[in-house]
Amino acid sequence: EAQVTQNPRYLITVTGKKLTVTCSQNMNHEYMSWYRQDPGLGLRQIYYSMNVEVTDKGDVPEGYKVSRKEKRNFPLILESPSPNQTSLYFCASSPLTRTLYLADLAEAFFGQGTRLTVV
Amino acid sequence: AQKVTQAQTEISVVEKEDVTLDCVYETRDTTYYLFWYKQPPSGELVFLIRRNSFDEQNEISGRYSWNFQKSTSSFNFTITASQVVDSAVYFCALSGLTNAGKSTFGDGTTLTVKP
């Protein structure tokens, strides 16, 4: 079954304690992305990756790191979490359009979400 | 920079009413894609439609229709004869050729359809 798997689904942690949210896809998609969703603010892109070893900042990258060492995995790392990073996080993957090398969000698969609380 | 504005934060209608959700976008790209997603109370994101910047034809899919107007940078979404199951948060999103991987979502419109 084609899917994007995020772990954990729920996490409560304390300020400053490093954590990693994993994201894995089984569709051989080139493109992967992380978003955070906060009430009234929609989805805001944190980081994205167009392919292995290629990552770029989205609109809200501060306080986050990512890596793309293999095509299927795109972990989100919070080196020193703070309460303002309490949010619902989504990972997504999609193929790239063949002609434009553009993320084809029409074909995007989203993970189930990770609800993170930093106290 | 690109931006998506969904000015309607919340809309409430009674079943069978028609409702239009507005989406206005800004981009300097001439090549871009626009999307609509639905997020029901269960939380998953459901793709509804993609439109590329070269195709201004309106689209109809059952009770759903979309009106794309480049002249006003708008991509509005209409639900005809709304149903309770249409209750959800709806997001409009934009992805442009410059910074090809960058996607921008609007803040979303929460639609409540009352029986």
Query: Quick check: helix, strand or coil at residue B17?
Result: coil
Q: Give, for B11, the enclosing helix (H) or strand (E).
A: strand B10-14
Residues of B in contact with A58 (CB under 8 A): 102-103
B42, closest residue in chain A (CA to CA): A112
Decide if A102 touches B, using CB distance below 8 A.
yes
Residue A101 has pLDDT above 70, yes or no: no
Q: What is each CA distance from A60 to A10, A49, B2, in whole angstroms?
A: 21, 15, 14
Residues of B in contact with A102 (CB under 8 A): 31, 33, 95, 97, 100
* pLDDT score, position B99: 78
- The predicted pLDDT at position A99 comes to 66
pLDDT above 70 for A37: yes
Which residue among B49, B93, B101 places its CB closest to the CB of A50?
B101
**Is the bond leading into A83 cis (omega within 30 degrees of zero)?**
no
Query: Other CB atoms closer than 10 Å to residue A71's CB: what's the count?
Result: 16
pLDDT of residue B93: 94
Reported confidence tier of residue B90, pLDDT bands at 50, 70, 90: very high
Give yes or no for A44 touching B (CB within 8 A): yes
Classify strands B10-14 and A87-94 as parallel, antiparallel or unpaired.
Answer: unpaired
Q: How far apart are CA A23 and CA A31, in angstroms?
A: 12
Mean pLDDT of B15-21: 98
Mean pLDDT along residues A92-109: 77
Task: Find out whether A46 and A58 touch, Cβ atoms under 8 Å.
Answer: yes
Classified as helix, coil or strand, A85 is helix
Q: How large is the average pLDDT for residues A22-31? A: 95
Mean pLDDT of chain B: 93
DSSP A45-113: EEEEEEETTEEEE-S--TT-EE--SSTTB--EEESS--GGG-EEEEEEEEPBPTTT--B-GGG-EE---
Kindly report the number of other CB atoms within 10 A of residue B115's CB atom: 7
| Residue range B16-22: mean pLDDT, rounded | 98
- Tally Cβ neighbours within 10 Å of residue A89: 23
CA angle A12, A116, A52 (to 5 degrees): 125
Select from B100, B104, B108 the Cβ nearest to the Cβ of A101: B100
Q: Count how many Cα atoms sit within 13 Å of the Cα of residue A35 in the half-sphere of its side chain.
A: 27
Q: What is the pLDDT of residue A57?
A: 95
- Does residue B111 contact residue B21 with C-beta atoms inside 8 Å? yes
